[in-house]
Structure 1
């Protein structure tokens, strides 16, 4: 199965795509809770722009594919938009305005899912019908594995960055890094810090989230590099050809039956 270029391209593309979709989703919540002091419910509300962007993206990408028949343009465009969104999210700081992080989220949301369905379309339309179930299972397994891998990598980047920055700012913060990290993202505002100490602490969290966003840019680049293997195919034309073949088969069968009846 993995000898098929379409299946390999679909699996590897979604290996990166689902990392693109999930990494920012996790660490935006940490940004809102640690830097802005949101509760879990408030951070969920503040992430609605991401959901809005995803919904707009799914409807638009589906409509364009249905209208043109081409899925590859969506697979190419999605990572490009996501990379821009991640780049903007990497500038988040304690002073970022609401209008900016709302706009950044919408852009990231649109890009993160714009091309996610393209690998499925390629597999369903270009792989022989009897192999489609196994091919889809391979793609789903690889993308799930990718999601886990990239979230682990993001966690390593965040934790190492946060620990390093807290050590650098320890003289200003006045607390050991382990105490701050132990308080959790939501608990940093209950440590009794204020003024320069609190600002240094919030800057450390914000910069650590920013560094995770660099990973998102790299994942978008990976998806863009491998999606070309899906090929430039028009699924509308493929479906028309399959319909013609089916009609010819049905016609041949009917002709054969007529000939048999005449012979009798």
Structure 2
């Protein structure tokens, strides 16, 4: 936990509040880099008394599922966090309206999660859905990088559905996979590891995404409207930019916001693409004959 806190603080401060080469940021990165190997070493020495016993991590499906879930948590939470900003800043939606406009992704996640759970229960195999998710997600999030001021509902609804479908068919499958390959006594630890990986991926990359957004927004403001004070735009927030700058500068500020958010969606696309490295390593096993609880 201390290592993760140090890493999160470094990612949050780096490039925004303090330069990346500042003593605060570099110290936190070095401390995190030191504590993580120490934690791994201690866990290895403790054996079966470790928080996550090595016998669990040695299971191919467990560590590959954790990798997959780490990246799916990263790409999904990144998009869920920044997409409302796009609706507010670029489309001029209110905070409430931006939440409503985000429903297509949430609804598709829920529907495809339920549908994939039903199919896995009857068919038995979950690995194809994990691989399918690793293919669909980069497509959906990659398409989101093309969103611009002129994008209509067909684009932002359709792109959300594609990304949500990928997340929906894949997000819950690792929880099923670890129940298949682990002994019943190890299942609670295995499922906790998967949930932790998902939460960690989201926390790390939302923090990193904030840094990317802040840095790129300032850079794009300097490019599109160099005479506008970036601090005024940042302080106004996504919903207040139209009232914070002169009318002739609104288009430039909106373009800067759109470009900065496109960079955030690129991070989502990259993490979604990285999920394939975990997906292809998950073993092909059936849930048939296994006493498991299907995630819904």
Question: Considering the TM-score relative to the shorter chain, is it more than 0.5?
Answer: yes
CA–CA separation in structure 2 for the residues paired with 1:79 and 1:159: 28
Deviation at 1:89, TM superposition (A): 0.6
Contact residue 19 and residue 151 of structure 1 kept, 8 A: yes
Partner SS state of residue 202, structure 1: helix
Contact residue 158 and residue 212 of structure 1 kept, 8 A: yes
Counterpart of 2:168 in structure 1 is: 113
Counterpart of 2:134 in structure 1 is: 79
Please list, as runs of the form range in 1=range in 2, the aligned pairs for 1:1-264 lying within 5 A after superposition.
Answer: 1-171=56-226, 174-195=227-248, 197-236=249-288, 238-239=289-290
Give the number of the structure whose residues are more often helix, by fraction. Answer: 1
CA–CA separation in structure 2 for the residues paired with 1:120 and 1:192: 49
Contact residue 166 and residue 201 of structure 1 kept, 8 A: yes
Moved over 4 A (4+): none
CA–CA separation in structure 1 for the residues paired with 2:144 and 2:201: 22
Contact residue 85 and residue 107 of structure 1 kept, 8 A: yes
Deviations along 1:208-257, whole A, 9 cap, x unmatched? 11111111111112211112222011111x439x9xxxxxxxxxxxxxxx
Deviation at 1:192, TM superposition (A): 4.3
| TM-score normalised according to structure 2 size | 0.76
Deviations along 1:67-125, whole A, 9 cap, x unmatched? 21100000011121111111111011111112211111111111122111111111111
Counterpart of 1:262 in structure 2 is: none
CA–CA separation in structure 1 for the residues paired with 2:79 and 2:180: 31
Q: Structure 1, unaligned stretches of length 5 or more? A: 243-264
Q: Structure 2, unaligned stretches of length 5 or more? A: 1-55
Deviations along 1:38-60, whole A, 9 cap, x unmatched? 11111111111112211221122
Q: Which structure has more RCO (C-alpha within 8 Å, separation ≥ 6)?
A: 1
Deviation at 1:187, TM superposition (A): 1.0
Q: CA RMSD in A?
A: 1.7
Residues paired across the two proteins, number? 237
CA–CA separation in structure 1 for the residues paired with 2:246 and 2:233: 11
From the superposition, tell whether residues 227 and 116 of structure 1 become closer, same or farther in structure 2 (CA, over 3 Å). same
Deviation at 1:145, TM superposition (A): 1.4
CA–CA separation in structure 2 for the residues paired with 1:10 and 1:71: 11
